[in-house]
Amino acid sequence: MTTQNSHMHTPFAATLLERRDLSADTALFRVAPEESALRTLCSFVPGQFVQLSVPGGGEVPISPADLPAADGTLELCVRRAGHVTEVLHQAATGATLGLRGPFGTGFPLEEMAGRPVLLLAGGLGIAPLRSLLMHLLRNRNDFEEVTLMYGARQPKLMLFREELAALAAKGGLRLFLTVDFAPEESAGTFSCAVGLLPDLLKGFRFDAERTYAAVCGPPPLYRCLIGELQKAGVEAERILLSLERRMRCGIGRCCHCAIGQKLCCVDGPVFRASELRQIPEAL
């Protein structure tokens, strides 16, 4: 077994360098993988995931929120959802974590090159889509118009809001933000619409026949967004959905993540809407 293959099963060590709170239950963790992991992790394609192990907790799939930095460090945006993520949120800087991966399919970047790209993120769905967004913006000339539509329940739950506003202000990104409702308290200096994410698509003028759409968010959102995108003229082959399933092995062995005949960990997590047509339980 090669070193690379053995790390499909055995995690690389990674040191927790810092943590930045993004909302009451979500934080951005910067981790430094051991040096021998760098070559493997540098093959990461936006949309893929890693299996993050937290001592005393367990292992969870997480899609890195950006490509590895030049120094090999990795950003993981993690919501406190249950046991493992709770232990991670309690971990001190300097703690040793584990990483396996990257696993699964990423976004088809070569196919998307030269096309307009529309990213649609709902809630925590911005975490996996952020790595795609950063790739598009760093290679801005390789893509046509880049648009991000991002919806959150309320302003204070909108992750990376200042960063996104700053990226849009630089040019090269069309940004549309929306919240389900806007309570009276202020959540900083950024403006957004009030309404549901699919509402942003209604009346939105874009080159639907050439656009690739990348969607990530809570499950109920998918059907609605696919409907709106198809109504606008985006073919199902160009609607890319990042799906979530509970995972164990992450490498196609345990069938824990089955979606019909497909396995989320190896056939996904990025699927085309056209691939899922025959699998009603997928969405």
Stretch that binds ligand FAD, among 34-42, 137-145, 204-212, 244-252 (CB under 6 A): 244-252
CB 273 within 8 A of CB 242: no
Shortest distance in whole angstroms from residue 257 CB to ligand FES:
4
Among ligand FES, ligand FAD, none, residue 269 binds (CB under 5-8 Å by kind): ligand FAD
Binds ligand FAD (CB under 6 A): choice among 232, 247, 251, 270: 247
| Binding to ligand FAD in span 126-185, by CB under 6 A | 127-128
Of 145, 135, 75, 74, nearest to 110 by C-alpha is 135
Among ligand FES, ligand FAD, none, residue 256 binds (CB under 5-8 Å by kind): ligand FES
The token pair at 212 is 């690739």
The token pair at 116 is 């307009």
Site map (CB under 6 A) of ligand FES, residues 161-190, x = contact: ------------------------------
Give the count of residues interacting with ligand FES (CB under 6 A): 12
Positive or negative, the CA dihedral 87, 9, 3, 47 is: negative
- DSSP result, 4-36: HHHHHHSPEEEEEEEEEE-SSSEEEEEEEE-GG
- DSSP result, 176-222: EEEES---SS--SS---EES-HHHHHTT----TTT-EEEEES-HHHH
**Smaller CB separation from ligand FAD, 42 or 81:** 81
CB 63 within 8 A of CB 28: no
Shortest distance in whole angstroms from residue 114 CB to ligand FAD:
27
Q: Which residues contact 278 (CB under 8 A, 6 or more apart)?
A: 260
Binds ligand FAD (CB under 6 A): choice among 16, 27, 28, 60: 60
The token pair at 19 is 């943590």
Taking the chain, what is the end-to-end CA distance rounded to the nearest angstrom? 37
Stretch that binds ligand FAD, among 6-14, 58-66, 186-194, 201-209 (CB under 6 A): 58-66
Shortest distance in whole angstroms from residue 222 CB to ligand FES:
20
Dihedral-angle region of residue 65 (phi above 0 means left; psi in -120 to 50 means alpha; beta otherwise):
alpha
**Smaller CB separation from ligand FES, 42 or 81:** 81
**Element holding 3 (H helix, E strand):** helix 3-9
Give the count of residues interacting with ligand FAD (CB under 6 A): 21
CB 116 within 8 A of CB 207: yes
| Binding to ligand FES in span 210-269, by CB under 6 A | 247-250, 252-257, 263, 265
Asked whether position 79 contacts ligand FAD by CB under 6 A, the answer is: yes
Q: Nearest residue by C-beta to ligand FAD?
A: 82
Asked whether position 115 contacts ligand FAD by CB under 6 A, the answer is: no
Residues that bind ligand FAD (CB under 6 A): 49, 60-63, 77-79, 81-85, 124, 127-128, 244-247, 269
Residues that bind ligand FES (CB under 6 A): 247-250, 252-257, 263, 265
